[in-house]
Structure 1
Amino acid sequence: MQYVAEHAEIDALVVFNPKRLAQAAEILPDLPRIDTVVLCDPGDAEDERPELPDRVEVLTLDAVQERGRTSVDDQAAAIEELRAQIDADDLATIIYTSGTTGRPKGVMLSHENISSNAITSVGQLDDFETGPEGEVVISFLPLTHVFARMLQYAFVYRGVSVYFVHPDNLVEALPKVRPTVFASVPRVLEKVYAGIKKKVMAMTGIQKSIGEWGLEVAQEYDMTEPGSALYKAKHAIADRLVFRKWRAALGGRVKYIVVGGAALQPDLANILSAAGITALQGYGLTETSPVITYTRPWRNKPGTVGEPLPGVEVKIADDGEILTRGPHVMQGYYKAPEKTDEVIEDEGWFHTGDIGEFDEEGFLKITDRKKDLFKLSTGKYVMPQPIENRMGSDPLVDNAVVVGSDRKFCTALVFPNQDQVRAQAKEFGLDPEQAIDDLLAEPDIVNAFRSIVQGANEGMDHWSTVKRFALIPDELTVESDLLTPTLKIRRPKVHEAYADEIEALYYEGDEPPGDRTERGAVLVEV
C-alpha cells in the first residue's frame, strides 16, 4: 500500500473497514500528501479509531456521496465544464499489477482503453437481456483487479443490476441474489466442483449412487459433440436428478460464468456445460484493459481462450509469444518509460509474455508464461503450466508448482486440499482428524497423490515429467503473499519460502535421507 501511495502521489485514500484504517494509520505519517481517508464501512467501533495525523480528515462513504449530491446541485455548470474537457485518450486510471515478481507496475489506462473493451466484450453476448428486468450480476472478485473493474463498467453500460458481495459470503448470497451472470477465476470454480464431489462422497445409499452416476455423466459431456441418443437420454435423466441441484446451489438461474485470470480446465468447462451453465473463457492482462480474446456462447471450445475481440489484432511471434495491438493496449507504465519500451514496439504491438498458438479453427490456446519457462541442466526447456494444470484438476490438489531450473530433472511442490484429504482418509478407513502432516504420510494417501502425478505425466515429454514431489502440509494464500489476488502463484516467492523442500527433493540415490522435511513435508518418488 505504501509503495503504491508514494509512487502514484495520491492525495486521498479509500479503505474498506476499520481494520484497513488501522493498517493505513501505520503508514500515513510517512505519506504527507494524503489529507483525506474515505472509510466505506465504519462498523460499530467509532471510538476505537486509530490515531491519525492531524492533517487527515476521515470521511464515511455516505458523507462523500452527500457532498457529491450537493456539488451536482450547486456546481452543475463547473462539473459539466470539467466533463467537456475530458478526451477519450486521457488517463482514466492507474491499476497496479499484482505481479508474480518484483514490485507492482502502474498500468495507465485511458477512457478509450476501458470503454472500448467493456462495450465490445459485453456486445458479444447476443442474448444478454438489458435494463432493470434484464440480467442479474453478482460480483465478488476484487475491484483492484482490471477484470472485475472492466466487467463492472460493461454491466452498468448495459443497465443491469450488479450485486457486490465479499467472497466469504458468496455461498449465502447466491440463493438470495439468484444471478444470471457472474465472473470468476478458475480456482473458485475448481473449489466449487471439489465441494460437490465432497458432498457426493459423504452421501450414503441410493443418494450416493445417483450422485456418483451424475458426476460420471457430466464427465462424459463434450460441448463440441452432439452425443449419441443413449447419452442424450442419460443426460436428460441426470439433469432432473442431479444437475438441477447444482444449478440451484448457484441460485438456479445462472446462464453464463465469465472466466478470466487463468486457464479453465477443459474438463471443468464441459462439466459446467453439462449442467446447463456456459463458461465463457477470456484471456488478457491488466495492460490490455484486459480482454484480448474470449469464447462466445455460439463458438465455445474448451481448452482455448476463444477468438480476438472485434478491433483487436493478435499474432504469434517467432518464439511463440502472443503479441496484440489495438485500442485495448495501455498507454504505458506510470513513471517507467523504459519498461514501457520493453513491451510495446514502435508499431504498437504489445508483448504479453505468454506463449500460445492458434488452432485450425482460429481459437487461441495458451501454453505457458514465457517467464515461467525454465531450462534443465541437460539443456532441455520445460513449460511447467501444462503439468501443473493436470495435477491441479484433481480435487485432492489445491496448488502444484513444478521446479527444476538448472537441475537434472523436474520435481514438484504439491499443496493438498486439506478438506479433500480428510474426506479421502475417511474413505480409506483412516482417522480424518489426525494432524494433516501425519495424514499426508499415510501410505494410502501417498499412493493417491502418486497416481495423480503419474497421470499428469502421461503423454508429456519425458524430460518435463515430474520424477519426485513433496506433499506440503500448508496452504498457499493471498495473505501469505504467495498468491496474487486472482489466485495466481507467485513462483519466486514460493521457491524462496520452500527452498529447503526443493533442495530436499534433489537428494542423491534412490531413497530420501528421511521421509519428511523439518516443515513436515512428505517426500515421494514417482
Structure 2
Amino acid sequence: MPRELDRFHEQLSAYARDHGDAVAVQGQTWRYTYQQLLDEVGLRAHTLHRQPAGALVLALDNGPDLLFWDLAALFAERPCVIVPSFFSATQFDHCIAQSGASTVLCSTQWVPRLLSEGFVQEGEFWVRERSTDVQLPDSTAKITYTSGSTGRPKGVCLSAEAMLRVARELEAASRPTEPQQYLAVLPLGILLENLGVYAALMAGACVQVYPQRQLGMGGASQVDFKQLLGAIALSGAQSLILVPQLLMGLVTAIERGLMRVGPLRFVAVGGARVSPNLLARADAVGLPVFEGYGLSECASVVALNRPGAVRPGSVGKPLPHVQVRIADDGEVLVAGSILLGYLEEAPVTGEWWATGDLGHLDEEGYLYLDGRRKHQFITSFGRNVNPEWVESELTQGGVIAQAFVHGEALPHNLALLWPLDPTASDEAIEQAVQHCNAQLPDYAQVHAWRRLPAPLSPRDETLTANGRPRREAILQRYHTLLFDISL
C-alpha cells in the first residue's frame, strides 16, 4: 500500500479506536461513526476485489454511499472514476469508453446508456467483459474528468500519493481554525470537493454529504440560493469549499441580513478567478474566505491563502509539497505533484507541468495570476468551456453563420451572433440557439445572446486573415453590446 494511503488508513483507524462515538459521516437519513465508516468501506473493498479487473465508475449522487465506494476503491487500489453529476449523456458515454470501465455503480438515469454499451446487471453492479485493453499509467488511483472544455473531456490519471498529499496539506492549512463540521457543497465528481472530504476526515471532522438537490444544486450552474443558504445554516458547517458564484450568493445574503456568518471558520474558494471586490466584501462582513488555485493535472490545489498567511489579490503561497516557477513567457509551471498522464496519451515523464496560466510571484512567494494563455474560459461556477466548441455547435445548424461565446468568470455564457441570412428573425435565431443548447451540457449552453450589427471581418480586425475570431478585439469592440445582454 502506498505510504500516504497507509497513513490515511491508520489515521481513520486511530479515530475509530480513540473516538468511537464520534460521527464521521452524516447523510440525509443516516449517520456513521468512524468505526462504522471503516466497516462500510472494508465491506465494499472486499466486494471490489471479486469484481473483474478494470476501472470502477461511480455515477451516483452525493451521499454516504458514494463516499464509501470511493474510499473502498482507494483502499482496494482499484482505479476509480466519479462521473460529475452535470455531465451530458455523450460525456458519460465517453468516460465509460475511454476509461475501459468494467464495473459501474450508477443512478437509474444512466441505465439505458449502460445497456447500449453491453453492460449487464449483476447485483448492485453493472458489469461487462472489457472489449479493449485500456492501459492506465502505473499507480493510477483516480481518473478525474475535467468539466469538459470540449465535448470530449480529458481523463486525468492521478496517484493516491498525489491526491492524499494535497488533502493532507489542505487539512494542515485549515487546522488553526479547528473546523469539526464540514459540509460537502460541490459534487464529489469535482476533484476539489473529493479531496476536501478526505481532508476533513484526516482532521477527524464530521463530513456532511447530502444529495445535491437537497442543497438546491442542479446541474453545473443551477442553484436555488434560498435552499442552499438554508442548508448551510441548518448544517452548522464550520468549513466548506465554494466556487466564486456560490460565494457571491453567500456574501450577498450576509450583507442583506438574510443569514449570519454563524459558525463558519474556514471557507475555501477556488475553481475560477475570484473578483477582488467579492473578497473585500466577504472580509467586510467577517466571512473567513481563503482563495486558492489549482488544476486537476496537479491533483487540484497548488496554492492557497491560509490563516496567518493571506495576501489579498494573490492565490496564496504554493503548498509545501509543490514548487512553482514562472517561465520566461510568464506561464506558471508546477512541479512536485503532477498527473501520471492523460488517458489515451503517453505517460507524463517531465518534472514540470505547464499550467496554461500566466502569473508572477512576489518577493515573499505569493502567487498572482495574470490571465490564461489559451482561449478556454472558466465560468464563475468553475466549469471549463472551450468557446470554439460551443461556437462550432452554434454554426452547424444552417441558421447562424458566425458566433462568439464568452463566459470568463460569469454565471451565464453570453453570445454574439450573425445569421447566415441577414434577414432572419430573432425568433429563428433563438430557435437555433435552443436546438444547439439541447446538445450541450448546461454549463456550456448559451444563456443569452445578441445579434451582431455587422458580420465579423478581417477588415475591422475582429477576424484573422484565415477567419478565426480575434477574441480580445471582439471583446473590446463589442464590450457594451455583450455586457448589455439582459438575462
Give the TM-score, by structure 1 length: 0.52
Larger Rg: 1
User: Alignment partner for residue 363 of structure 1, among 349, 366, 378?
Assistant: 366
Q: CA deviation at 1:36?
A: 4.7
Q: Decide which of 267, 291, 294 is 1:257's aligned counterpart.
A: 267
1:277 Cα offset (Å): 1.6
Q: Is the 8 A contact 1:13 1:36 kept in 2?
A: no
User: In structure 2, the residue corresponding to 1:291 is in which secondary structure?
Assistant: strand
Q: Look up the equivalent residue of 2:364 and give its one-letter code.
A: E
1:71-93 per-residue CA deviation (whole Å, 9 max, x = no partner) reads xxxxxxxxxxxxxxxxxx72211
Is the counterpart of residue 107 in structure 1 residue 156 in structure 2? yes
Matches within 5 A, 1:174-253: 174-194=232-252, 200=256, 246-247=259-260, 252-253=262-263
CA distance in 1, matches of 2:439, 2:269: 23
Q: Where do 1:74-473 residues align within 5 Å?
A: 90-129=139-178, 135-165=180-210, 166=212, 167-168=215-216, 169-194=227-252, 200=256, 246-247=259-260, 252-326=262-336, 328-337=337-346, 345=350, 348-372=351-375
For 2:277 and 2:368, the matched residues in 1 are separated by: 15
2-structure distance, mates of 1:288, 1:37 = 36
Q: Distance in 2 between matches of 1:180 and 1:478?
A: 39
**Aligned equivalents of 1:107 and 1:525: distance in 2?**
35
* Alpha-carbon separation, structure 1, partners of 2:251 and 2:437: 19
Give the drift of 1:263: 1.7
Q: Tell me the residue number matched to 1:30.
A: 116
Count, aligned residues: 317
Q: 1:120 offset after TM fit, Å?
A: 1.6
Structure 1 match to 2:59? none
The one-letter code matched in structure 1 to 2:191 is: V
Task: Pick from 77, 86, 96 the counterpart of residue 5 of structure 1.
Answer: 96
CA distance in 2, matches of 1:351, 1:370: 11
Q: Deviations over 1:173-213 (max 9, x none)?
A: 2222111111100011123344567xx5xxxxxxxxxxxxx
1:319 is paired with a residue of what secondary structure? Answer: coil
Q: TM-score, normalised by structure 2?
A: 0.56
C-alpha distance 11-371 of structure 1, shift in aligned 2 (>3 A)? same
Question: How far apart are 1:261 and its partner, in Å?
Answer: 0.3
Taking the TM superposition and a 5 Å limit, the aligned residue runs for 1:36-55 are 36=122, 38=124
Q: Using a 3 Å threshold, how does the CA distance of structure 1 residues 104 and 139 change in structure 2: closer, same or farther?
A: same
Counterparts of 1:330 and 1:285, CA distance in 2:
10
State the SS of the aligned residue for 1:3.
helix
Structure with higher helix content: 1
Q: Give 1:362 shift.
A: 2.2
Structure-2 separation of matches of 1:289 and 1:162: 21
Identity of counterpart residues, as a percentage? 28
- Tell me: CA distance 1:171–1:195, structure 2 relative to 1, closer, same or farther (3 Å): closer
1:10–1:33 Cα contact (<8 Å) kept: no
Q: Secondary structure at the match of 1:254?
A: coil
- Equivalent pair of 1:13/1:37 in contact (CA under 8 Å): no
Secondary structure of 1:263's counterpart equals coil
Give the conservation status (yes or no) of the 8 Å contact 2:450–2:482. no
Amino acid at match of 1:303: G
SS class of match (2:374): helix
Q: CA RMSD in A?
A: 4.3
One-letter amino acid of the counterpart of residue 356, structure 2: G
The Cα shift of 1:28 comes to: 1.8
Say which SS state the counterpart of residue 372 (structure 1) adopts.
coil
CA 1:293–1:417 in structure 2 vs 1: closer, same or farther (change >3 Å)?
closer
